[in-house]
């Protein structure tokens, strides 16, 4: 899954690839918002992102798009 996280007052969003299902990511984000603490997600390479919920603007969960190689016709 590709997860995009918007941070308040930051010009760029955080993007990570996660092995978790969309439901698991949604549950983690929802629990973090309810607790008003921090959002903690881990990407496929084991890197961890920890963000205070108070700075969270949005979270977008989408299927990771396969990268096209060479000349392809869509």
In tens, the pLDDT along 29-66 reads 999 999 989 999 998 889 999 999 999 999 999 886 66
Residue 53: phi and psi, rounded to 5, are: -60, -30
Residue 53: count other Cβ atoms within 10 Å of its Cβ: 14
Domains, the chain, in order of start with CATH, read 2-62 (2.30.30)
Q: Are 7 and 51 in contact (CB under 8 A)?
A: yes
C-alpha span between 62 and 19 (Å, rounded): 12
Q: Are 63 and 2 in contact (CB under 8 A)?
A: yes
- Confidence grade of residue 74 (pLDDT, cut at 50, 70, 90): low
């Amino acid at each position: 899954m590709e997860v995009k996280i918007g941070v308040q007052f930051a010009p760029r969003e955080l993007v990570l690839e996660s092995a978790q299902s969309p439901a698991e990511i949604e549950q983690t984000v929802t629990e973090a918002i309810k607790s008003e603490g921090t959002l903690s997600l881990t990407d496929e390479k084991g890197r961890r992102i920890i963000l205070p919920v108070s700075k969270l603007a949005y979270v977008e969960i989408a299927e990771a798009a396969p990268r096209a190689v060479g000349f392809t016709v869509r």
